Amino acid sequence: MSEAKSNKKLGTRVLDSVEYIGNKLPHPFMLFLYLAIAVVLISAIIEAVGVSFTHPGTGEETAVQSLLSTEGLMYMLESMISNFIGFTPLGLVLTMMLGIGLAQQVGLVETFIKSTILKAPAKLVTIAVVGTGIVGNIASDAAYVLVPPLGAMIFYALGRIRLLVWLLALLG
């Protein structure tokens, strides 16, 4: 019994620390912005040190150029569109996001999530909740709002209190 309690406490501590760290992280857009600024600053530092590299294909030696310089800023602005156009999955991702956004707005995602969990056999409820949460994560808002409470209600109705406690611990 004491091992189970100590493991529970360890599990709770791990979940608490993950939640604490997750709450301290800034918004993903801000993370992207911070990383972009870091790359620009690192390029300036590396240029100031005088680092150069040899191109493996041509053997030509090239010095690192700062993105803070006029040429660097022009390079970033001029290559921005070609970078997005050259990123092949971008069109597919944008199209999928438009489709998923439409499905979420008309209620298709919410209906799918509710019907999948509520109609699952008792033996497969856990798998249905986890699977629906994974699939529903594509439409992030709907899954995050609907799956935990529905799963908690079903676990409670089935007498699976341990699963309910675990699910609530994950939610913080």
Query: What tens digit of pLDDT does each residue of 131-168 get?
Result: 877 777 765 555 666 677 777 777 777 777 666 666 66
| Inter-residue contact 139 to 109 (CB < 8 Å) | yes
Look at residue 171 and tell me whether its pLDDT is greater than 90: no
By CB atoms closer than 10 A (0-12, 13-18, 19+), residue 72 is middle
Whole-prediction pTM value? 0.47
